[in-house]
Amino acid sequence: MRETAEAELLPRFGKLEKSEIREKTPGDLVTVADVAAERRLTEGLNRILPGVVVVGEEAVAADPKLIKAIKSEHRAWVVDPLDGTSNFAAGKPRFAVIVALTEKGRTIGGWIYDPLGARSAATTLGGGSWLNGEKVRFAANTPLREMSGYVGYKFKRQFLEKANPERIQLVKGMSSLFCAGLEYIEMLAGNSHFNLYRFVKPWDHAAGTLMVEEAGGHAAHFNGDDYRPTVHQGGVLAATDPAAWHELHRLFLAEQLPLLDMTQDK
């Protein structure tokens, strides 16, 4: 992942031509850096585990049926070669590389790399979560008034329009980095306490949710089911401990969920 970032992402950062940026769908950007990085990652992952399918974000854009391999194949790599493409395309320094490994439809390993911050997060099922080589364990029982977190930016805007202002003020703050990978790293670094998204593509969340779980937190869909990379709708809420998850769910979702548009955005 580091080699890919150094070869394909960093040399292009802040130097993209308009012709090197396009829309896959309205508002969903892809750049030459995304495509080149996914190609290099796929080649490397094929050497690590020959024969294991690579479900990359750009490969799925070209062949939507490929995403079914996460469920149908015994093992699958799930790859976001450039998380935060809109930031990258605009020259904003907030992007990451994400890789997860699934087995029988469940995440068993995850890795997130922050190229500009030189931060590496890693996790394995049952093996804990690590940030820059140090094991992470979340503190429990953080009061709501001390909790801050990240919310998908369009979701946040709609949420603030519909939510009771008094409830919003019960937490310290909400913001967005426009990059799920960095938002999960910030949780591991102790700089935030929750992530809330309605859009749950597996390349954005398979690695990060396992990191949260292995660090003592909890990640689940809005209906309370444990997060699974085979489920691509229904939102996801991740928090630094299970008790906090239930408090945040009651605060943000218990009454608001029927009013929210679950069809777009992160």
Mean pLDDT (10-residue bins), the chain, 266 residues: 98 97 90 98 98 98 97 98 97 98 98 98 98 96 91 73 70 92 98 93 98 98 95 94 91 64 50
- Please check whether residue 214 lies inside any domain of the structure: yes
Instruction: List Cα–Cα distances, 49 to 43, 77, 99, 122, 263, in angstroms.
Output: 10, 9, 13, 18, 35
Q: What is the model's pLDDT at position 146?
A: 92
Which residue among 136, 166, 188 closes a domain?
136
Q: What is the model's pLDDT at position 164?
A: 64
Same domain, 130 and 179: no
Same domain, 109 and 154: no
Same domain, 255 and 165: yes
Same domain, 203 and 116: no
Look at the chain and report how many structural domains it folds into.
2
Q: How many residues does the chain have?
A: 266
Which residue among 90, 114, 136 closes a domain?
136
Q: What is the model's pLDDT at position 121?
A: 98
- Domain range for 151 is 144-259
Same domain, 129 and 235: no
Crossing angle of the two packed helices 202-214 and 180-188, in degrees rounded to 10: 10
CATH number at residue 175: 3.40.190.80
Amino acid identity of 184? Answer: Y
Which residue among 136, 171, 188 closes a domain?
136
Question: Whole-model pTM?
Answer: 0.94
- Please check whether residue 264 lies inside any domain of the structure: no
- Please check whether residue 18 lies inside any domain of the structure: yes
